[in-house]
Amino acid sequence: MGWWEINADTLARGRFVVSPLDETLACLKMLHAGVAGHPGERAWLDTHRPAHLRRMAADPVTALLVASGLGREWNADFLTPTPVEGQSFADGVARIRAARPEVARADLAVSLGGTLPAALDRNDLPERAAALLEEVWAEAVRPDWDRRRRVLEADVVARTAQVSRGGWATVLDALRPGTRWLGDNRLQINLNPYPPRELSGAELLLVPITPQRHGWVAWEEPERYAMVYPCAGALADDGARHVPAALGALLGPARAGVLTLLGTPMSTSQLVGVTGQGLGSVGRHLRVLLEAGLVERRRAGRSVLYSRTPAGEVLVEAGAGSGTGPG
């Protein structure tokens, strides 16, 4: 198994970073694989994958680059630069475009686990990769980026609260399949037989993405290490925020949307991030739902989390049985 040795000082300085480039990379991986993690992703794939497949059919060199660089066990390093806090998509993709051709070819050989195909023995691979990511960003990610960013920021709120409740080990233990805190300053990052890496003094970055079946690690030794992980599924699934029509008619669409979301405990800040409603509006909805006995609240560290009561569960289930409408 692969693991990192992380001392207490490095762990204490660890922080979460939202990266539009990594979100776009994850979406490219999903377009390539064609596998959805929930109904919302399936709808997104149905909308955007046909154009992606047509693009790949028209450009077999770039199609081979994608298939070679986004491996099952290892991504080509030049495709996954370690993110920098506050970095825009344009700045991130410029780093891919600036990769040296010989480095790109060597990285692809590693991700393939063998010899580089003759068709990829060329110098324009970084430019091709950057151009493709720019297309995915412009057509399939940027139009929805405000919602995606709110979801990612809500996940960061939840993980930060988890750190305050149970420490970093509880967060690292549950980031993604294959990740586990082993104790003795060791973090298992995957199940692959890679040599351990010692992170003392380095930056440790945790980077959420919304696609649910993807994640990876990246580093720039010895300064910066990143773990890219799928954010909480209840936040990512846009389908989970479709409000039953009967429930919307009873409570109002916005308030019913809050109640629908609270099948998973959330803080006020998370609800603001996911719904796009203002803090005052969410607070008013929560107050009404509390007074009606449909939600309850409990303190978790410095956060207050809200969740549905049994009565709230019954109401949501009854509304769902009456059909759905837009949220």
pLDDT (tens digit, 9 = 90+) per residue, 79-112? 999 999 899 999 999 999 999 999 999 999 999 9
**Cβ–Cβ under 8 Å, residues 17 and 201:** no
- pLDDT attached to residue 17: 94
* Region of 5 on the Ramachandran plot (φ > 0 left; ψ -120 to 50 alpha; else beta): beta
Q: What percent of the chain has pLDDT over 90?
A: 49
**Coil, strand or helix at 168:** helix
Instruction: Say if CB 207 and CB 169 are below 8 A apart.
Output: no
pLDDT at 232 over 90: no
* Rounded CA separation 12/14 (Å): 6
CB atoms within 10 A of CB 4: 22
C-alpha–C-alpha distance, residues 167 and 123, integer Å: 46
* pLDDT beyond 90 at 174: no
pLDDT grade for 61, boundaries at 50, 70 and 90: very high
Residue 180, strand partner residues:
188
Residue 302 is predicted with a pLDDT of 66
Residue 199, burial from CB neighbour count under 10 angstroms (0-12, 13-18, 19+)? buried
Q: Please name the residue ranges forming H helices in the chain.
A: 8-12, 20-33, 39-58, 60-69, 89-97, 101-112, 125-136, 145-166, 168-172, 233-236, 245-251, 253-261, 268-275, 279-291, 310-320
d(CA 324, CA 256): 12
* Least confident stretch, 17-21, 161-165, 212-216, 288-292: 161-165
- Whether the pLDDT of residue 242 is over 80: the answer is no
- pLDDT at residue 209, as a whole number: 95
The answer, yes or no, to whether the previous bond of 222 is cis (omega within 30 of 0) is: yes
> How high is the pLDDT of residue 222?
85
- Taking residues 246-272, report their average pLDDT: 85
Which is higher by pLDDT, 320 or 133? 133
* Per-chain mean pLDDT for the chain: 88
| Mean pLDDT, range 274-278, rounded to an integer | 84
Return the pLDDT at 91. 97
Least confidently predicted of 1-15, 45-59, 147-161:
147-161
Average pLDDT over residues 154-165: 78
